[in-house]
């Protein structure tokens, strides 16, 4: 069916400029027709630069726009549930930036409204659809029986982290759900659950070692998948530059597989006396494959399972590791 999907953006920040925004107009039968932002001048200028015909400073006005029949939410996580529920109650499908919400409890609210209205809510775990990670899944059989999974991630503080009077929203737990862990770890955890099934057990220890902000900046965790595979993770957002690391390693009975989540370093397989590297490029707009799948789902041409139901277990794991739920 040639259904025209006409998107309205709630939020027009950095993510919409590079990762997602341009991709909506690259999919056949999809176009961006409206945008909403709190800052009038910035929103007006964003609409002008991207040739978007309508712009708003009120989310409800955008949702009520008759030209808009699907909503993309690109705001901080604390407002995801509110805007998603508003859109679904208006009968309009939703595409939400990750994580789905700032808490597992808010994810449950979103799922309840989606179920009651019959309106789908999709989530931007776009790495599931990127060629790089599809190659990781293709190579998984080479390691044999998967025995253990390890996440290791370390980065130095960002320049903005030193500005105590104007800290990034990503280190404000009331807005983000936690610190950088809540912003970045969802991509890693979602990928692993997509490969190995839901994590049923998770425990963690969070600390603030750098003293730059109140949120956690260092996290260690252990977890276990429904398949019985144990795993562990270590995250540090205040490390020295020399300690930078972005690695997931999968250990199996016949070898190991190593890859990165954010830097897209070569995928490395080691096993049976051989080492192989795979350089896999991704599209310029990394959300394009997922957005295409969502549009085709709404056009009844495909099925997209990257929805709020599949995204909720990641929030449960995050909240368990941070001790937000018992």
With a CB cutoff of 8 Å and minimum separation 6, the contacts of 60 are: 86
Residues 148, 263: one domain?
A: yes
User: What's the pLDDT score for residue 13?
Assistant: 84
Measured at the alpha carbon of residue 175, what is the angle toward residues 262 and 284, in degrees to the nearest 5?
30
CA dihedral (279, 283, 285, 289) in degrees, to 10, reads -110
In a domain, 260, yes or no: yes
Mean pLDDT, rounded, for 56-81: 97
Residue 177, domain CATH: 3.30.360.10
pLDDT for 204 beyond 80: yes
The pTM of this model reads: 0.95
With a CB cutoff of 8 Å and minimum separation 6, the contacts of 115 are: none
pLDDT for 1 beyond 80: no
Residues 236, 296: one domain?
A: no
In a domain, 85, yes or no: yes
pLDDT in tens, 265-294: 999 999 988 999 999 999 989 999 999 999
The answer to whether 92 and 99 are in contact (CB under 8 A) is: no
**Residues of the domain holding 200:** 131-282
The whole-angstrom separation of Cα 312 and Cα 326 is 16
User: What's the pLDDT score for residue 15?
Assistant: 78
Distances in Å between the alpha carbon of 83 and those of 24, 39, 68, 99?
A: 19, 17, 15, 14
Out of 17-21, 189-193, 307-311, which region has the weakest mean confidence (pLDDT)?
17-21
In a domain, 241, yes or no: yes
Residue 22, domain CATH: 3.40.50.720
Mean pLDDT, rounded, for 237-266: 98
pLDDT for 51 beyond 70: yes
pLDDT above 70 as % of the chain: 100
Residues 194, 241: one domain?
A: yes
The whole-angstrom separation of Cα 300 and Cα 294 is 10
The whole-angstrom separation of Cα 219 and Cα 234 is 6
- Residue tagged 């939703």 (tokens): 94
pLDDT in tens, 127-158: 999 999 999 999 999 999 999 999 999 999 99
Mean pLDDT, rounded, for 178-202: 98
Residues 249, 232: one domain?
A: yes
| Continuous segment of H or E residues that includes residue 258 | strand 256-259
Residues 51, 138: one domain?
A: no
In a domain, 41, yes or no: yes
Mean pLDDT, rounded, for 294-305: 97
User: What's the pLDDT score for residue 20?
Assistant: 83
How much of the chain is helix, strand and coil, in % rounded to 5?
40, 25, 35
In a domain, 326, yes or no: no
User: What's the pLDDT score for residue 272?
Assistant: 87
Token pair listed for 162: 């030193």
Give the DSSP per-residue string, 101-130: -SSHHHHHHHHHHHHHHT--EEE--GGGGS
Token pair listed for 274: 């051989």
Q: What is the mean pLDDT of the chain?
A: 96
In a domain, 42, yes or no: yes
Count of structural domains, the chain: 2
Closest CA to 133 of 241, 280, 301, 321: 280
Residues 102, 205: one domain?
A: no
pLDDT for 2 beyond 80: no
Residues 152, 35: one domain?
A: no
Residues 212, 196: one domain?
A: yes
Residues 146, 185: one domain?
A: yes
The whole-angstrom separation of Cα 128 and Cα 234 is 22
Residues 261, 137: one domain?
A: yes
In a domain, 252, yes or no: yes
In a domain, 146, yes or no: yes
Length of the chain: 326
pLDDT band at 299 (very low <50, low <70, confident <90, very high): very high
């Amino acid at each position: 069916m040639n259904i025209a999907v006409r998107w309205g953006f709630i939020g027009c920040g950095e993510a919409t400029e590079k990762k997602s925004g341009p991709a909506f107009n690259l999919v056949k039968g999809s176009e961006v027709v409206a945008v909403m932002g709190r800052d009038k001048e910035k929103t007006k200028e964003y609409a002008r630069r991207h040739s978007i015909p309508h712009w708003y400073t009120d989310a409800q006005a955008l949702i009520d726009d008759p030209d808009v029949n699907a909503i993309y939410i690109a705001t901080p996580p604390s407002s995801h549930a509110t805007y998603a529920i508003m859109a679904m109650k208006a009968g309009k499908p939703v595409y939400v930036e990750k994580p789905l919400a700032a808490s597992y409890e808010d994810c449950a609210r979103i799922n309840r409204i989606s179920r009651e209205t019959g309106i789908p809510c999709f989530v931007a775990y776009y790495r599931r659809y990127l060629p790089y990670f599809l190659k990781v899944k293709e190579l998984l059989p080479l390691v044999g029986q998967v025995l253990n999974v390890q996440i290791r991630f370390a980065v130095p503080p960002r320049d903005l982290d030193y500005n105590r009077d104007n800290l990034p929203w990503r280190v404000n737990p009331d807005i983000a759900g936690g610190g950088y862990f809540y912003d970045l770890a969802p991509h890693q955890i979602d990928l692993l659950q997509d490969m190995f099934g839901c994590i049923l057990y998770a425990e963690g220890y969070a600390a603030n070692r750098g003293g730059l902000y109140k949120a956690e900046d260092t996290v260690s965790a252990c977890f276990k998948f429904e398949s019985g595979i144990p795993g562990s993770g270590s995250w540090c957002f205040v490390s020295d530059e020399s300690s930078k690391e972005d690695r997931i390693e999968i250990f199996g009975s016949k070898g190991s597989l190593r890859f990165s989540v954010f830097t897209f370093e070569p995928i490395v397989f080691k096993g049976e006396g051989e080492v192989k590297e795979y350089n896999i490029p991704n599209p310029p707009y990394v959300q394009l494959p997922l957005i295409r799948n969502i549009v085709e789902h709404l056009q009844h041409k495909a099925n997209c399972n990257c929805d709020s139901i599949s995204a909720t277990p990641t929030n449960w794991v995050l909240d368990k590791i941070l001790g937000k739920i018992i």
